[in-house]
Amino acid sequence: MYLLCFTNSYSGTVFSRSITSQFDRVKAFNTKHSLISARVWIRKIWCASSMDPNQCEFLAENELIEVMPQFDEQSMSLICGDVGPFCAGTPIHIPLWLAIYLKKRKKCTIQPPSWFNLEELKRMIAEESEDAPFISIPERFLEISRILLAHAKDDLSDVDQLRTLIQNLWDTRAAKMATSSIKLIQTSENHAQFDNLTQMEISLSRHVLLEASRKVEELNSLVHKLT
């Protein structure tokens, strides 16, 4: 899978592993304020296979996040629509990839999402640890938290604890997924319903769950023939 990019000064393909880093390679920036000067048209060519973690990260970078600009600028035209105008000291919601781009150039500070704090993460872990269905969590919690921890640490408090709690939440849900998969194999059912899974979790567990479901179906079919 790749991205096909067209700008005023560049035309070609770039890999989609990290759209943030790839934009540094596409030379279409305004020399006045080091911002994007041209409308960047991106056509994403999906391969025939299912969503993978890299695609999940790409989609996460399109999520809106609040920033505090440190510059004044008119609206910018992007594929997602016009963004701005930017006014120093006035909060604004922009795509995450653009927030990271501006952050690297010291043109904004990033306001972390309301769920990205110690108290809220501890609450989610406590609820997830109960013997109950998966709780509802932000769809892109893992991707967004990783991006912020990598590129906006100075805008966060208790970085090490945040990183630990994010990993704990992920591990808790992964353990629950493993337990649920084992229960599925041990039953006579050939299907199961998992609510509140994120796209990243589905992409990472799809193969295992489908394989388990197929094996159960084969065993049930064999038992039916023998009886």
Instruction: Report percent pLDDT > 90 for the chain.
Output: 41
Residue 12 reports pLDDT greater than 90:
no
Per residue in 60-82, pLDDT (tens digit) is 888 999 999 999 999 888 877 88
Find the range with the poorest average confidence among 66-75, 92-101, 203-212.
203-212
* pTM (whole model) above 0.75: no
pLDDT of 21: 44
Q: What is the mean pLDDT of residues 192-218?
A: 77
Measured in degrees and rounded to the nearest 5, phi and psi for residue 105 equal -100, 15
CA-only gyration radius of the chain, Å: 22
Choice among 18-22, 123-127, 178-182 with the minimum mean pLDDT: 18-22
For residues 191-218, give the mean pLDDT: 76
What is the helix (H) or strand (E) element at residue 69, kind and residue range?
Answer: strand 64-69
**pLDDT, mean over the chain:** 76
Confidence class of residue 2 from pLDDT cuts 50, 70 and 90? very low
Contacts of 110 (CB under 8 A, 6+ apart): 65, 66, 67, 68, 99, 100, 103, 148, 152, 155
pLDDT tens across 191-204, in order?
667 788 888 888 88
Structure confidence at residue 185 (pLDDT):
66
Whether 179 and 207 have beta carbons less than 8 Å apart is answered as: no
Most confident of 56-70, 180-194, 204-218: 56-70
Using CA atoms, how far apart are residues 36 and 51, in angstroms rounded to an integer?
29
**Percent of the chain residues past pLDDT 70, beyond the cut:** 71
| Neighbour count for residue 201 (Cβ, 10 Å) | 19
Helix extents (H) in the chain: 19-23, 53-60, 96-104, 118-128, 141-151, 159-186, 199-226
